[in-house]
Copies of this chain bind each other. A is one copy, B any other.
Amino acid sequence: MEILQLIQSNLLTPIILFFLFGIIAARIKSDLKIPEAISEFLPIYLLAAIGLHGGIEMRNTGFENMLIPMLVAIGLSLLMTLNHYQILRRLGKFNIFDSYALASTYGAVGAVTFSVGLSFLKNQGVTSEGYLAAILAVLEPVAFILAIFLTNMAVSKQIRQKKKSFTKGDASDLDMGIQETKTKLSQVLHESVTGKAIVILLGSIVIGYIIGESGFDSIKIVFDEMFTGAIVIFMIEMGIIAGQRLGDVKKVGIFLIAFAVIMPTFNGIVGVLVATVMGLSLGGSVMFGLLLASASFIAAPAVLRHAIPQANPSLYITSALGITFPYNIIVLLPIMFAVSTLVHGDGSIDLFNYITKDWI
C-alpha cells in the first residue's frame, strides 16, 4: 500500500533515523547527551525559523484568509480537550487532576512535531500556508487555559461542597475560591502568553512579515538552510529523552498507551479533513491535522506543574513524548499525508464525497 511506502520512506529520513538512534542510545544506557545549552537553544532557533518562514509567506499571500482556520483550530482544540477529559475520566478512570492535565496536553500543540512536519513536507516537495505558524502560536495556550479553568472550578466546587456539609455554605468562601481561581488563571494566561515559545514564534512571524524575502536573504543560511540539520541534532536529544522514558511506558497503563495512539490519529485525521473543507492546500491540511494530533511535551510540564501540581507529570510527559511523539512523526504524519493527498487529489465533488464518507 502507498501509506506503508510513505511510512517507510519517512522512516529512512535523517530526522527519523537520528530520533530512533537517540532512543537506542538511551536504551543501551550510553552516556551520549546533547549539552543542555544546545538543547535549550534549538527549540528557540527552530521556532524563530518557523516564525520567520511563516511571516514571509503571510506577506506573500496575505493573511485575511487565516481568521477562519484559526478560529476553527481554537474551537476544535477546545472541543478535543473536553472530549479527552471525558474519555480519560470516564473510560480511563483517571482522577480529575490527571484527566485535565492529560486532556490539555493532548489538546495543546507540539512545536517540535510541527518542525518535523515542515521538514517532512519539504522532503515531499509540498508547501503549506504560512499562517499555520500563527495558528501554532495561538493554539499553544488554549487547551491549557481551558483545563486549568475547569480544574480550578472543579476544585473550588469540591471545597464548597465540603464546606457546606460542615458549616452552612459561606458565600465569602465561595467568593474566595473564585477569586483564587481568577488569580491563578490570569497568572497562567500571562505566563502562557509570555512563555518563550509563543513569544519567539509570534515575534518571528511579525519580523518575517516585515522583512519579507529580501530582508531574509542575509540570514537565510542560518534560519532556512540549516533548519533540517538543526532538527536532526535536536532529534538526537529528543530520542534520548524519549528512550529514557520508554521504561516508564508500561507504568502509564494500557489505557493511556491506547489513548496516546488512537486520540492523535482521530484528531489528526479530523484536522486534515476539516482543513481540506476550509480550502487549505494539501500540505496545509497535513500541518493543520498535525497541530491537532500533536501533544505538548515541553510547554505542558512547565505550565501544568505549576497550575495543576496534583497531577502526576510522569503520566503526561511519558505518554506525550514516549508514545505520541514517535507515533506522530513516524506513522501518523505519512498517514495524514496520504489522506490529504486522497482528499485533495480529486475534483471538489469527489472531495466532498470522501469527506462525508470519512467524516461521519
**Is A222 in the interface zone, CB < 8 Å from B?**
yes
Kindly state the separation between the CA atoms of A194 and B122 in the bound complex, as whole angstroms. Answer: 34
Measured between beta carbons, the chain B residues less than 8 angstroms from A123 are 218
Complex-state Cα separation, A204 to B21, whole angstroms: 9
Most buried by B among A17, A29, A30, A230: A30
Q: List the B side residues contacting A40 at CB < 8 Å.
A: 35
A256 CB, nearest partner CB in chain B, Å: 30
Q: Quote the shortest CB–CB distance from A116 to chain B (angstroms).
A: 12
Q: Is the CB of B31 within 8 A of A196?
A: yes
If over half of A's interface residues share one DSSP class (helix, strand or loop), that class is named, otherwise mixed; here it is helix
Interface size on A, residues (CB 8 A): 52
- Cβ B230 vs Cβ A225 within 8 A: no
Q: For residue A212, which residue of chain B has the nearest CB?
A: B12
Closest 5 pairs between A and B when the two form their complex, measured CB to CB: A222-B229, A37-B37, A35-B37, A32-B196, A30-B194
Known: A18-B207, A28-B199, A222-B230. 16 other contacts (CB 8 A): A12-B210, A13-B215, A13-B218, A14-B211, A14-B218, A17-B211, A21-B204, A28-B194, A30-B195, A34-B41, A35-B38, A36-B37, A45-B233, A122-B218, A200-B236, A222-B228
Q: Which residue numbers of A lie inside 8 Å of B, CB to CB?
A: 12-14, 17-18, 21, 24-25, 28-38, 40-41, 44-45, 119, 122-123, 194-196, 199-200, 203-204, 206-207, 210-211, 215-216, 218-219, 221-223, 225-226, 228-230, 232-233, 236
